[in-house]
């Protein structure tokens, strides 16, 4: 069997848009470009940004075609509808036009690569109307490359146009953004992607289930290229026919019906059925993350149905019916709680060492939450007093006293009084009346309030402050003792002379300790003013005064004069004694 002379081209390349009519999902940008071309208000630089696969590079090539198209007769001008048959259009489509230069910034990041562009823009185009530079993934350029491009980008020659494409516009310097006309390409909606895939499979002569194409469109997440790659794989997987079950098996997606059954079992609080459903899907090859993802989609779809109805064309008839039924039964509070619980479980399963066990625990947590009362309803019942609380068993002896508002047990009087007999019969056992839980009357006496503890007196001296600091923080107390010179101490205000040995946090530490000790808020600050000497300085001054007094005594002076080399090594001041002793 002879092989075809033409190599196979993947669908993402084969069905790349060749004109603006084939560019799906970007109507706003096409309208802006059409008006700019029609009125001759063309910018010198365009920046195209968006997620992968929405058509940034394809749009750049279409703009190059639109600006350089000369029409079938060779007399045309710039147009939003390039003919596609003239030499510039054909050459640009095939990527061989000499005046349309495409550069991948991911592999050409240096200033030398940009310098080549700067040198080349001075020369006129060879055959086209405009010399166009398409730089893909422009955010990959180095800082020096961006700086080298700035001047040329701001004031390029009239025959030069720049077209930039990037998926990470936040990495492009603001100086570059301000010199470009920016277009944000949107994600392509699932219904438009499904319609596009329908046209593709028809052109390829392949049969496909609409549900299968809808699954591929959802999996593409707004990217036409990703969707076409998945469709290409699905066609090969299905041997010429694309079926929904085959797509689920290929992508590892959970069956939508199984997801709805699992969601219903969670709402019923049937833990055993939930565990059985999880294991059943896991045995079929469904990943635990995919299960949680499907449940999140279901919760979101029900919420949307509750707000805007079930008119999503990507949903099957069964899904619309089920979502509409749940939307009528579930409140927004319940849906929001379900979403938060499932979202937390999804994150846990993604990072768990045992994903299936983590999925089971996450869904059991949801089952447990489904049996709890709604917080809003519980608050309303608390406010109205309509609570069906269980009656506690009666104690052997009734309590002597209960505080006001407490639940207490009191005997209920008998329904019918027993008449007193004339003769005294033998004593019969008296039946103890039942106990009921009632609310204590509001007129019950209040317990005597406990006396408030006395507020500690405020310290009025440095010694008193040191005494408070010492048991709380020995280091802070030592610093206060040695270096704190008090400028002012009035009530809860304390000013201390700034000292190089005192840390910057000293004032705050002292204030916190004094607040704990006195129960009042203190204002402590360090200022550049002289204050009274610190406790250590005062002790040393007293010691120096005592020493000088000893040295000035006549007896010591005479001793020092008789023995010049003598020194006063130590001394003690004797206590004064009475004459009687």
CATH number of the domain where residue 511 is located:
3.30.70
Return the higher-pLDDT residue of 245 and 104: 104
Q: Is residue 134 pLDDT above 90, yes or no?
A: yes
Count how many Cα atoms sit within 13 Å of the Cα of residue 196 in the half-sphere of its side chain. Answer: 28
User: What pLDDT is attached to residue 413?
Assistant: 40
Return the higher-pLDDT residue of 562 and 530: 530
Which H, E and C letters describe 200-267, residue by residue? HHHHHCCEECHHHHHHHHHHHCCCHHHHHHHHHHHHHHCCCEECHHHHHHHHCCCCHHHHHHHHHHHH
Of the listed ranges 5-9, 69-73, 428-432, the least confidently predicted one is 428-432
Mean pLDDT of 417-436: 44
Of the listed ranges 210-224, 330-344, 371-385, the least confidently predicted one is 371-385
Residue 144 sits in the same domain as residue 62: yes
**Residue 275 falls within a domain, yes or no?**
yes
Residue 43 sits in the same domain as residue 130: yes
Last residue of one domain, picked from the residues 211, 226, 251: 251
At residue 102, the 3 state secondary structure works out as: strand
Q: Residue 39 belongs to what domain range?
A: 11-184
Q: How confident is the model at residue 415 (pLDDT cuts 50, 70, 90)?
A: very low
DSSP string covering 326-391: HHHHS-HHHHHHHHHHHHHHHHHHHH-SSHHHHHHHHHHHHHHHHTSPPHHHHHHHHHHT---PPP
Buried b (16+ CB within 10 A) or exposed e, 204-230: eeeebbebbbbbbbbbbebbbbbbbbb
At residue 104, the 3 state secondary structure works out as: strand
**Residue 23 falls within a domain, yes or no?**
yes
Question: Which residues lie closer than 8 Å to 151 by C-beta, 6 or more apart?
Answer: none
DSSP 419: P
**Residue 1 falls within a domain, yes or no?**
no
Q: How confident is the model at residue 29 (pLDDT cuts 50, 70, 90)?
A: confident
Last residue of one domain, picked from the residues 203, 233, 251: 251
**pTM over 0.75, yes/no:** no
For 399-458, strand residue ranges (E) read 407-411, 435-439
Q: Tell which residue, 238, 251, 252, 250, has the closest CA to residue 208.
A: 238
Q: Is residue 267 pLDDT above 90, yes or no?
A: no
Structure tokens at 221: 């997440």
Q: How confident is the model at residue 450 (pLDDT cuts 50, 70, 90)?
A: low
Residue 78 sits in the same domain as residue 214: no
Q: Is residue 49 pLDDT above 50, yes or no?
A: yes
**Residue 425 falls within a domain, yes or no?**
no
Residue 166 sits in the same domain as residue 286: no
Q: How confident is the model at residue 258 (pLDDT cuts 50, 70, 90)?
A: confident
Return the higher-pLDDT residue of 133 and 38: 133
Last residue of one domain, picked from the residues 512, 532, 552: 532
Residue 116 sits in the same domain as residue 265: no
Beta bridge partners of residue 162, listed in sequence order:
45, 133
Q: How confident is the model at residue 544 (pLDDT cuts 50, 70, 90)?
A: confident
Residue 287 sits in the same domain as residue 261: yes
Question: Which residues lie closer than 8 Å to 551 by C-beta, 6 or more apart?
Answer: 557, 560, 568
Mean pLDDT of 36-54: 88
Q: How confident is the model at residue 275 (pLDDT cuts 50, 70, 90)?
A: very high
**Residue 551 falls within a domain, yes or no?**
no
**Residue 571 falls within a domain, yes or no?**
no
Mean pLDDT of 493-520: 89
CATH number of the domain where residue 224 is located:
1.10.8.60
CATH number of the domain where residue 177 is located:
3.40.50.300
Residue 41 sits in the same domain as residue 140: yes
CA distance 55 to 196: 14
Return the higher-pLDDT residue of 406 and 365: 365
**Residue 453 falls within a domain, yes or no?**
no
Mean pLDDT of 566-570: 73
CA distance 501 to 536: 14
Count how many Cα atoms sit within 13 Å of the Cα of residue 149 in the half-sphere of its side chain. Answer: 30
pLDDT > 70 in the chain, percent: 80
User: What pLDDT is attached to residue 437?
Assistant: 39
Structural domain total, the chain: 4
Q: Is residue 26 pLDDT above 80, yes or no?
A: yes
Mean pLDDT of 378-398: 55
Of the listed ranges 100-104, 222-226, 262-266, 413-417, the least confidently predicted one is 413-417
Buried b (16+ CB within 10 A) or exposed e, 86-96: bebbebbbeee
Q: Are 42 and 181 in contact (CB under 8 A)?
A: no
pLDDT > 90 in the chain, percent: 17
User: What pLDDT is attached to residue 377?
Assistant: 66
233-250 pLDDT per residue, tens: 888 887 778 888 788 777
Q: Is residue 485 pLDDT above 80, yes or no?
A: yes
Residue 161 sits in the same domain as residue 260: no
Structure tokens at 85: 């048959």
Residue 336 sits in the same domain as residue 479: no
**How many other CB atoms are found less than 10 A from the CB of residue 413?**
7
Question: Which residues lie closer than 8 Å to 324 by C-beta, 6 or more apart?
Answer: 305, 309, 310
Of the listed ranges 10-24, 165-179, 388-402, the least confidently predicted one is 388-402
Residue 333 sits in the same domain as residue 264: yes
Q: Is residue 543 pLDDT above 90, yes or no?
A: no
Residue 203 sits in the same domain as residue 149: no
Q: What is the mean pLDDT of the chain?
A: 80
Of the listed ranges 87-96, 279-288, 302-311, the least confidently predicted one is 302-311
User: What pLDDT is attached to residue 161?
Assistant: 92
**Residue 558 falls within a domain, yes or no?**
no
CATH number of the domain where residue 362 is located:
1.20.272.10
Q: How confident is the model at residue 311 (pLDDT cuts 50, 70, 90)?
A: low
209-220 pLDDT per residue, tens: 888 888 888 888
CA distance 295 to 261: 10
Q: Is residue 333 pLDDT above 80, yes or no?
A: yes
Residue 173 sits in the same domain as residue 204: no
User: What pLDDT is attached to residue 435?
Assistant: 37
Residue keyed to tokens 């910057």: 504
User: What pLDDT is attached to residue 371?
Assistant: 64
């Amino acid at each position: 069997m002879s092989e075809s002379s033409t190599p196979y081209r993947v669908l993402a390349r084969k069905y790349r848009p060749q004109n603006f009519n084939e560019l799906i999902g970007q109507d706003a940008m096409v309208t802006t470009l059409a008006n700019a071309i029609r009125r001759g208000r063309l910018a010198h630089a365009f920046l195209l940004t968006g997620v992968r696969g929405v058509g940034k590079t394809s749009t750049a090539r279409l703009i190059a075609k639109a600006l350089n198209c000369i029409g079938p007769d060779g007399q045309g001008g710039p147009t939003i509808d390039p003919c596609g048959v003239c030499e510039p259009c054909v050459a640009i489509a095939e990527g061989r036009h000499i005046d349309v230069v495409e550069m991948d910034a991911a592999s050409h990041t240096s200033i030398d690569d940009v310098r080549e562009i700067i040198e080349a823009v001075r020369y006129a185009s060879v055959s086209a109307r405009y010399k166009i530079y398409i730089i893909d993934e422009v955010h990959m350029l180095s800082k020096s490359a961006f700086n080298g491009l700035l001047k040329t980008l701001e004031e390029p020659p009239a025959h030069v146009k720049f077209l930039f494409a990037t998926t990470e516009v936040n990495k492009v310097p603001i100086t570059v953004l301000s010199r470009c006309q920016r277009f944000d390409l949107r994600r392509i909606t699932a219904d438009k992607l499904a319609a596009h895939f329908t046209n593709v499979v028809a052109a390829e002569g392949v049969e496909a289930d609409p549900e299968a194409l809808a699954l591929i469109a959802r999996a593409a997440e707004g990217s036409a290229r990703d969707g076409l790659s998945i469709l290409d794989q699905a066609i090969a997987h299905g041997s010429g026919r694309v079926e929904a079950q085959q797509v689920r098996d290929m992508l590892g997606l959970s069956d939508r019906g199984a997801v709805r059954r699992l969601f219903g079992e969670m709402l019923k609080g049937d833990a055993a059925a939930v565990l059985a459903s999880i294991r059943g899907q896991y045995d079929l090859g469904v990943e635990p993350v995919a299960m949680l993802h499907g449940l999140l989609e279901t919760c979101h779809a029900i919420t949307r149905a509750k707000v805007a109805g079930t008119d999503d064309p990507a949903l099957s008839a069964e899904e619309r019916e089920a979502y509409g039924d749940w939307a009528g039964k579930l409140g927004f509070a319940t849906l929001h709680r379900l979403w938060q619980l499932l979202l937390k479980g999804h994150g846990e399963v993604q990072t768990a060492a045992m994903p299936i066990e983590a999925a089971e625990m996450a869904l059991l947590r949801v089952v447990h939450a489904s049996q709890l009362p709604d917080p809003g309803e519980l608050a309303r019942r608390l406010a109205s007093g309509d609570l069906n609380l269980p009656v506690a068993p009666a104690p052997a002896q009734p309590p002597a006293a209960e505080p006001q508002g407490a639940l207490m047990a009191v005997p209920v009087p008998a329904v019918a009084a027993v008449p007193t007999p004339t003769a005294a019969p033998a004593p019969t056992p008296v039946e103890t009346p039942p106990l009921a839980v009632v609310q204590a009357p509001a007129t019950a006496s209040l317990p005597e309030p406990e006396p408030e503890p006395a507020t500690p007196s405020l310290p009025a001296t440095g010694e008193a402050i040191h005494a408070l600091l010492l048991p709380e923080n020995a280091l802070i107390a030592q610093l206060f003792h040695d270096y704190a010179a008090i400028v002012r101490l009035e009530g809860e205000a304390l000013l201390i002379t700034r000292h190089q040995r005192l840390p910057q946090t000293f004032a705050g530490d002292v204030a916190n300790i004094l607040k704990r000790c006195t129960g009042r808020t203190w204002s402590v600050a360090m200022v550049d003013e002289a204050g009274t000497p610190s406790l250590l300085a005062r002790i040393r001054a007293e010691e120096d005064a005592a020493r000088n007094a000893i040295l000035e005594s006549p007896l010591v002076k005479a001793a020092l004069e008789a023995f010049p080399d003598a020194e006063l090594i130590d001394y003690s001041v004797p206590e004064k004694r009475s004459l009687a002793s």
